[in-house]
Amino acid sequence: MTIRKTFALTAGFAGAMALGMAIGNSWMSRDQTAPAAVVQPVDVSPLSGFVGPTQPARPARAPRASADSAGRRATDSPVATLPASQPELQQRLKKVLNRGANMSVAAEGFRSGEQFATVAHAARHTDVPFMLLKHRVLNEGLSLEQAILESKPVADAATEVTRARESAKSDIDAIAS
C-alpha cells in the first residue's frame, strides 16, 4: 500500500468519525441530551429603579373538560348524547371519510357523535387529514378552529367550523328521525 492510499484511508476514517460525532447528538432522544440554559429577559427601565426579570410567559391553557372540542357544551343539546360508536352514524360518515377507513378506529376517543361528525366534516371540507384533526382536537386539546388553523393557516377556520357543525347536525338529525 502506498503512502497516498494510506493517507487517504486515514483521512476518510477521521472524516467519518468527525461526521458521526457531529450528527450523533441529533439522533439522541431529548431525554439523553443536556438541558438548555434558560435565559430570562431583564427589565432595565430607568423609571423603575429596579432591575429584575420581566413577567414570565403564561402557561398554555388546559383543555376544558366540560365542553366538547367542537365548541359546544355536552349538556346544551340532546343530540350530544348520541355516541360516536352509533352504527348508523358511522355508516353515514363512512362516505365523508376516506375510502377504506376503519370506522371504529375513527370514532374512538370522541365524547359524542356530534363531535365525531363535526371533525369528520371539517376534515372533508378543508382537505386536512381526518386523523390529524382528530389528534389535534383530542390529544392536544385544541378547539376545532385552532386545529384547522394549525393544519391549514390560509383557511377561514371559523366559517369551516360553522359549516362542519351544520353538516354534522343534519347527519345526526337524519339518524334521529
Residue 174's pLDDT is 86
Q: How many CA atoms lie within 13 A of 146 on its CB side?
A: 13
Higher pLDDT, 23 or 163: 163
Q: How confident is the model at residue 121 (pLDDT cuts 50, 70, 90)?
A: very high
Least confident of 4-13, 57-66, 137-146, 168-177: 57-66
Residue 80's pLDDT is 42
**Residue 126 contacts by C-beta under 8 Å, 6 or more apart in sequence?**
148, 151, 152, 155, 160
For the segment 121-129, the average pLDDT, to the nearest whole number, is 92
Residue 65's pLDDT is 46
For the segment 128-148, the average pLDDT, to the nearest whole number, is 92
Judged against a pLDDT cut of 80, whether residue 133 lies above it is answered with yes
Residue 76's pLDDT is 45
% of residues, the chain, pLDDT over 70: 65
Q: How many CA atoms lie within 13 A of 3 on its CB side?
A: 0
Q: Work out the angle at residue 128's Cα, subtended by the Cα atoms of residues 131 and 61, and round it to the nearest 5 degrees.
A: 70
Picking from 168, 167, 150, 148, the residue whose alpha carbon sits closest to that of residue 158 is 148
